[in-house]
A and B are shown apart, each in its own frame.
Chain A
């Protein structure tokens, strides 16, 4: 519920960076012959909206209307009395608060007076059907999915974006280190989450997710609960700073008598790091995932365009099968795991940025 409570200040992000992003997107719109693009975001899936507006509707929704030849306008379902706060976070100076996004977007687009307009929407995976339908009906057009061209641009991270991700990663690392010293058999998932919340937020994290798989539970990584943990725990934390996320996951052996388990974990980690070291721009997801699976004889999952979204990135569902080529300055997270006899699982998750043709791990403990 609280997700998306950002505290960033627009002064820390120059308006010029957003102008450049908008111009890049407009270039792609021209190539596709679009007259306007509607970019949606809500408290939980806000990466595309935030990329152009520096705005995340913390408990509501918003649509940024970007016409090729007119002034862009941001519509949000937040109340007007929040306007003073909006003005501290976004460079967009034309903001309309409304409880009917579809009607407002359609009204604004109809003012453009373009015959047979071509209107794009981003991202298709969350763009609300009622908004799309209102626009289609009013303008007699068919909304075009513009997600891929848009996110192709967004996946390459600027220095400033990389810096925010690195800070998020630093907070995740420090918080996790602090946690490890407090892990004892009998600790509960809620205790772990409490320590992480306190540590990460005290360091300025805007938000935090924590997932735990304990003592070989069959349901995989889950939300923390009150059940005591005795043997081992796989803990994944996702930390947000300045709107950008970093993800870190490790398996920790709590029971000192399980020495063999600890040795296995070491071997697993070595294999993981060797594999990671071989990755270069030009590799495809398919080859990366195949190599991981081969080495660990277990599932591997890679996600590109980590950054502004805590959940799904650009290629979330093209993972294992896609021939998507990774490029310099893309931010990724890699989650790999292997299941041992008895159902115990080793997990390793890291966030890294492909920098100067090499993976730069930002979550190395």
Chain B
């Protein structure tokens, strides 16, 4: 539904953009949206593009505008966006500077989405505005989204509920003989049924020698296997994620031992997380559990990606929960806490949940069981 006027939240978001522009002496700011990273565009304009290459242009003085690649996107944007001036560049990026000129002629332009800004768009802008300076402001803009409002948190909770429901269904239908892609088919079906607009799922099935998760393959689930997966539904733009490990048949003592290390690491971090703590602190709490158990060498990048990350309109937001990252946690942030790691005892194992940073600690937003589930193997 198209907003008739900017609500309080939307106005506050735009005010934060103005503050960035003032603080960094920018006379305009562009939010560029690739298909991979659309979250900032959606956050500041309410528009979720289905074609790559949309951008929002925010002059410091003047009305913002939304510049989309195709007329069909213009119609879609007009029906939902809080930005009222919408133009199409009709598939030719050389039209973008002319459209920007209609709003304002920039000299020092901040770009959010810098990493994915296409070469041809940057060239069109720099050639049309000689002397223009392009400045990467991606991280500054990303941080605006980091503390969630009540409304945003309720959407993340809803996404977590969808993950819980899809996982509960999956447990009931897992059996030896099912292929990896059939597992994903079932999960995707349920996520849409529960009104999830998208899902990111990777997994691994193995006898215990997986090193990481990957897209589903044709591999068939066998007795004695370990299935590790992360399910990440998106509800009205917002993601939640759960990471779970499932044993097919009774888990070996080694597998149980490995999983207990992960679960203890996660639980300790959930119990102790609080505002003011750094991302590094949260990672260290988890890594120390591995160190205590004699697996200190497996906390490196070679065996794990990190101990969690922020989550919201994008699945993998700031801050990365890793030792050395001194980003300070604030109430209203939602982070994933997942000590997912390869251990020689049982291969790659996972357990992870979204956690809301409250005024006093952390609140787990998902409710799925976290024990190492054993599915009955073939008779």
How long is the Cα–Cα vector from A246 to B80 in the complex, in angstroms?
A: 29
**B177-221: contact bitstring with A at CB < 8 Å (1 yes, 0 no)?**
000011011101111110101111110000000011011111000
Using Cβ atoms and an 8 Å threshold, which residues of chain B touch A42?
34, 36, 116
Closest residue of A by beta carbon distance from B234: A1
Using Cβ atoms and an 8 Å threshold, which residues of chain A touch B191?
194
- Whether B50 and A130, one on each chain, are in contact in the complex, defined by CB atoms closer than 8 angstroms, is no
Using Cβ atoms and an 8 Å threshold, which residues of chain B touch A79?
212, 301, 305
Q: Which of A80, A197, A224 contacts B189 (CB 8 A)?
A: A197
- Whether B118 and A81, one on each chain, are in contact in the complex, defined by CB atoms closer than 8 angstroms, is no
**CB proximity of B241 to chain A, nearest CB, Å:** 11
How long is the Cα–Cα vector from A58 to B315 in the complex, in angstroms?
A: 14
Using Cβ atoms and an 8 Å threshold, which residues of chain A touch B118?
124-129
How long is the Cα–Cα vector from A319 to B35 in the complex, in angstroms?
A: 21
Closest residue of A by beta carbon distance from B197: A223
Does A68 count as interface, using CB distance less than 8 angstroms? no
Closest residue of A by beta carbon distance from B73: A220
- Whether B202 and A82, one on each chain, are in contact in the complex, defined by CB atoms closer than 8 angstroms, is no
Using Cβ atoms and an 8 Å threshold, which residues of chain A touch B123?
129
Q: Which of A9, A80, A127 contacts B302 (CB 8 A)?
A: A80
Q: Chain A interface: which size bin? A: 35 or more
Query: How many residue pairs, one in A and one in B, have C-beta atoms under 8 Å apart?
Result: 162
Residue of B217, B234, B302, B304 ringed by the most chain A CB atoms within 10 A: B217
- Whether A128 and B189, one on each chain, are in contact in the complex, defined by CB atoms closer than 8 angstroms, is no
Does A108 count as interface, using CB distance less than 8 angstroms? no
Using Cβ atoms and an 8 Å threshold, which residues of chain B touch A81?
211-212, 301-305, 342
How long is the Cα–Cα vector from A307 to B192 in the complex, in angstroms?
A: 26
Q: Main secondary structure on chain B at its contact with chain A?
A: mixed
- Whether B120 and A124, one on each chain, are in contact in the complex, defined by CB atoms closer than 8 angstroms, is yes
Using Cβ atoms and an 8 Å threshold, which residues of chain A touch B90?
317
Closest residue of A by beta carbon distance from B214: A85
Does A356 count as interface, using CB distance less than 8 angstroms? no
**A1-26: contact bitstring with B at CB < 8 Å (1 yes, 0 no)?**
11101110100000000000000000
- Whether A201 and B185, one on each chain, are in contact in the complex, defined by CB atoms closer than 8 angstroms, is yes
Does A156 count as interface, using CB distance less than 8 angstroms? no
How long is the Cα–Cα vector from A244 to B120 in the complex, in angstroms?
A: 26
- Whether B181 and A312, one on each chain, are in contact in the complex, defined by CB atoms closer than 8 angstroms, is no
Closest residue of B by beta carbon distance from A312: B52
Known: A7-B181, A204-B181. A222 touches B52 (CB 8 A): no
- Whether B119 and A132, one on each chain, are in contact in the complex, defined by CB atoms closer than 8 angstroms, is yes
Does B287 count as interface, using CB distance less than 8 angstroms? no
Does A151 count as interface, using CB distance less than 8 angstroms? no
Does A115 count as interface, using CB distance less than 8 angstroms? no
Within 8 A of A (CB), among B267-307: 301-305
**B224-266: contact bitstring with A at CB < 8 Å (1 yes, 0 no)?**
0000000010100001000000000000000000000000000
Does B92 count as interface, using CB distance less than 8 angstroms? yes
Does A202 count as interface, using CB distance less than 8 angstroms? yes
- Whether B52 and A197, one on each chain, are in contact in the complex, defined by CB atoms closer than 8 angstroms, is no
**CB proximity of B119 to chain A, nearest CB, Å:** 4
Residue of A81, A222, A317 ringed by the most chain B CB atoms within 10 A: A81
How long is the Cα–Cα vector from A205 to B137 in the complex, in angstroms?
A: 38
Using Cβ atoms and an 8 Å threshold, which residues of chain A touch B86?
none
- Whether A204 and B218, one on each chain, are in contact in the complex, defined by CB atoms closer than 8 angstroms, is yes
Closest residue of A by beta carbon distance from B35: A44
- Whether A218 and B75, one on each chain, are in contact in the complex, defined by CB atoms closer than 8 angstroms, is yes
Using Cβ atoms and an 8 Å threshold, which residues of chain A touch B239?
1
Known: A128-B117, A194-B193. A45 touches B184 (CB 8 A): no
Known: A143-B119, A211-B50, A312-B52. A198 touches B189 (CB 8 A): yes
Known: A44-B34, A81-B303, A125-B118. A226 touches B202 (CB 8 A): no
Question: Interface on B for A, CB 8 Å cutoff?
Answer: 34-36, 48, 50-53, 72, 75-76, 78-80, 90-93, 114-123, 136, 181-182, 184-186, 188-193, 195, 197-202, 211-212, 214-218, 232, 234, 239, 301-305, 315-316, 342
Q: Which of B91, B122, B195 contacts A129 (CB 8 A)?
A: B122
Within 8 A of B (CB), among A31-71: 42-45, 58-59, 61
How long is the Cα–Cα vector from A1 to B115 in the complex, in angstroms?
A: 17
- Whether A124 and B119, one on each chain, are in contact in the complex, defined by CB atoms closer than 8 angstroms, is yes
**CB proximity of A310 to chain B, nearest CB, Å:** 9
Using Cβ atoms and an 8 Å threshold, which residues of chain A touch B80?
219
- Whether B120 and A145, one on each chain, are in contact in the complex, defined by CB atoms closer than 8 angstroms, is yes
Using Cβ atoms and an 8 Å threshold, which residues of chain A touch B195?
190, 226
Sort A-B residue pairs by CB-CB distance and give the 6 closest, nearest first: A317-B91, A201-B185, A5-B215, A194-B192, A44-B35, A198-B189
Using Cβ atoms and an 8 Å threshold, which residues of chain B touch A202?
181-182, 185
- Whether A58 and B215, one on each chain, are in contact in the complex, defined by CB atoms closer than 8 angstroms, is yes
Known: A44-B34, A201-B184. A221 touches B72 (CB 8 A): yes
Does A84 count as interface, using CB distance less than 8 angstroms? yes
Does A153 count as interface, using CB distance less than 8 angstroms? no
Does A328 count as interface, using CB distance less than 8 angstroms? no
Does A350 count as interface, using CB distance less than 8 angstroms? no
- Whether A130 and B114, one on each chain, are in contact in the complex, defined by CB atoms closer than 8 angstroms, is yes
Using Cβ atoms and an 8 Å threshold, which residues of chain A touch B181?
7, 201-202, 204, 206
Q: Which of B34, B52, B192, B302 contacts A190 (CB 8 A)?
A: B192
**A193-211: contact bitstring with B at CB < 8 Å (1 yes, 0 no)?**
1110110111010100001
How long is the Cα–Cα vector from A239 to B184 in the complex, in angstroms?
A: 15
Q: Could you jot down 9 A-B contacts, CB within 8 Å? A: A1-B198, A1-B200, A59-B200, A81-B304, A128-B119, A197-B185, A206-B215, A220-B75, A223-B50
Closest residue of A by beta carbon distance from B48: A223
Q: Which of A2, A59, A191, A311 contacts B52 (CB 8 A)?
A: A311
**CB proximity of A337 to chain B, nearest CB, Å:** 10
**A224-255: contact bitstring with B at CB < 8 Å (1 yes, 0 no)?**
11100000000000000000000000000000
- Whether B315 and A316, one on each chain, are in contact in the complex, defined by CB atoms closer than 8 angstroms, is no
How long is the Cα–Cα vector from A311 to B51 in the complex, in angstroms?
A: 7
Q: Which of A2, A222, A226 contacts B198 (CB 8 A)?
A: A2
Residue of A61, A201, A311 ringed by the most chain B CB atoms within 10 A: A201
**CB proximity of B141 to chain A, nearest CB, Å:** 16
Closest residue of A by beta carbon distance from B50: A223
Closest residue of B by beta carbon distance from A136: B119
Does A334 count as interface, using CB distance less than 8 angstroms? no
- Whether B117 and A130, one on each chain, are in contact in the complex, defined by CB atoms closer than 8 angstroms, is yes
Does A121 count as interface, using CB distance less than 8 angstroms? yes
Residue of A79, A143, A219, A223 ringed by the most chain B CB atoms within 10 A: A219
- Whether B52 and A80, one on each chain, are in contact in the complex, defined by CB atoms closer than 8 angstroms, is no
Q: Which of B35, B91, B188, B216 contacts A316 (CB 8 A)?
A: B91
Closest residue of A by beta carbon distance from B77: A219
Q: Which of A7, A43, A82, A191 contacts B216 (CB 8 A)?
A: A7
